[in-house]
């Protein structure tokens, strides 16, 4: 790194190893109270920084991106998801944006299976549910079909509707976009087999809570395992009393190793940018 360290606004407290590396290589202004900063809070503190390391908790719609002082050249988010950042606005302003893909995939997959098993315990015998979970036939929908070596025998459905019709267990793994918002709504649930189970470790707003909660209450959907919620950190309080909803506080990536890897990946992207290279996870 050059002697004159770039100035970095660290908008949350990240794991200690990540904070230490950031402090070694950057001149950091840290949200030392780990407060939930709004976009305006970030703008108010960004007058003197070259880049921002943020979590997904702070939202960056167009007005926040446009409100960032001209000295801010890069925004690195400590998350794979980037629905909290208006990428078009970032591109228009020339703000480089990166995320942290890949490094949390295994941890989130573990939580997905945990939710699948936990939610399944409420149907039939737990042992039978576990056995079925482990011997599942995999069906999937994706915008494009995967190559055979990635598909590994899974059955491809070219529409979400076609997949929903056969999904005894549905696990959601897509991004939150205008197209996927409320993908699992009343019509979608109506297509699913009676007594299906839904697991969501992706983003809460892909499910329409006003459709899922009544379906859980009636037993039309036997159980749900949810790590993510629309409007986080606020959670639809009905989930707290819905007996067949097994809920977690968005801990999909919450292992020390994974969170370190996410932070290091965000710092790798920042380092690349300030060394005049292309950050590998560049989104805008």
| Residues known to be catalytic | 203, 232, 250
Q: Are 263 and 241 in contact (CB under 8 A)?
A: no
Q: Indicate whether 78 belongs to the interface with ligand 8YV (CB under 6 A).
A: yes
- For 229, residues 6+ apart whose C-beta sits below 8 A from its C-beta are 204, 209, 235, 236, 239, 247, 250
Q: Indicate whether 6 belongs to the interface with ligand 8YV (CB under 6 A).
A: no
Burial grade of 97 (CB within 10 A; 0-12, 13-18, 19 or more): buried
Q: What is the dihedral of CA 145, 173, 138, 255, to 10 degrees?
A: 130
Q: Are 206 and 182 in contact (CB under 8 A)?
A: yes
Sole binder of ligand 8YV in the list 72, 80, 183, 199 (CB under 6 A): 80
Q: Indicate whether 11 belongs to the interface with ligand 8YV (CB under 6 A).
A: no
As measured in angstroms, the least distance from the Cβ of 108 to ligand 8YV is: 6
Q: Indicate whether 55 belongs to the interface with ligand 8YV (CB under 6 A).
A: yes
Nearer to ligand 8YV, 56 or 115 (CB): 56
Stretch 224-253 residues interacting with ligand 8YV (CB under 6 A): 252-253
Stretch 104-143 residues interacting with ligand 8YV (CB under 6 A): 104
What is d(CA 211, CA 215) in angstroms, rounded to the nearest whole number?
Answer: 6
Q: Indicate whether 214 belongs to the interface with ligand 8YV (CB under 6 A).
A: no
Structure tokens of 274? 């300030």
- For 95, residues 6+ apart whose C-beta sits below 8 A from its C-beta are 65, 68, 72, 73, 74, 75, 284
| CA-to-CA dists, residue 192 to 37, 120, 162, 215, 236, angstroms | 40, 16, 10, 11, 23
As measured in angstroms, the least distance from the Cβ of 259 to ligand 8YV is: 7
- How many residues contact ligand 8YV, by CB under 6 A? 9
Q: Indicate whether 79 belongs to the interface with ligand 8YV (CB under 6 A).
A: yes
Nearer to ligand 8YV, 61 or 69 (CB): 61
Nearer to ligand 8YV, 19 or 104 (CB): 104
Residues that bind ligand 8YV (CB under 6 A): 55-56, 78-81, 104, 252-253
């Amino acid at each position: 790194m050059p002697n004159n360290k770039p100035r970095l606004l660290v908008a949350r407290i990240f794991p200690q190893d990540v904070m230490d590396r950031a402090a070694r290589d950057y001149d950091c202004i840290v949200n030392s109270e780990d407060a939930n900063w709004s976009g305006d809070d970030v703008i108010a503190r960004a007058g003197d920084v070259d880049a921002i390391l943020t979590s997904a908790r702070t939202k960056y719609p167009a007005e926040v991106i446009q409100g960032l002082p001209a000295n801010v050249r890069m925004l690195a988010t400590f998350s794979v998801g980037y629905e909290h950042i208006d990428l078009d606005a970032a591109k228009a302003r020339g703000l480089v944006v990166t995320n942290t893909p890949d490094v949390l995939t295994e941890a989130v997959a573990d939580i997905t299976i945990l939710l699948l098993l936990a939610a399944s315990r409420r149907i039939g015998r737990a042992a039978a549910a576990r056995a079925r979970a482990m011997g599942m036939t995999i069906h999937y929908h994706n915008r494009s079909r995967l190559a055979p070596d990635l598909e590994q025998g899974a059955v491809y459905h070219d529409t979400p509707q076609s997949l929903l019709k056969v999904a005894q267990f549905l696990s959601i793994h897509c991004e939150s976009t205008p197209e996927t918002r409320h993908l699992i709504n009343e019509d979608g649930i109506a297509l699913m087999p009676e007594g299906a189970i839904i697991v969501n470790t992706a983003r809460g707003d892909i499910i329409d809570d006003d459709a899922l909660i009544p379906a859980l209450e009636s037993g039309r959907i036997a159980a749900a395992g949810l790590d993510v919620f629309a409007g986080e950190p606020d959670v639809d309080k009905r989930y707290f009393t819905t007996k067949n909803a097994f809920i977690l506080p968005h801990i999909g990536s919450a292992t020390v190793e994974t969170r370190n890897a996410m932070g290091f990946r965000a710092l790798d992207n920042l380092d690349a940018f300030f060394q005049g290279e292309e950050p590998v996870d560049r989104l805008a």
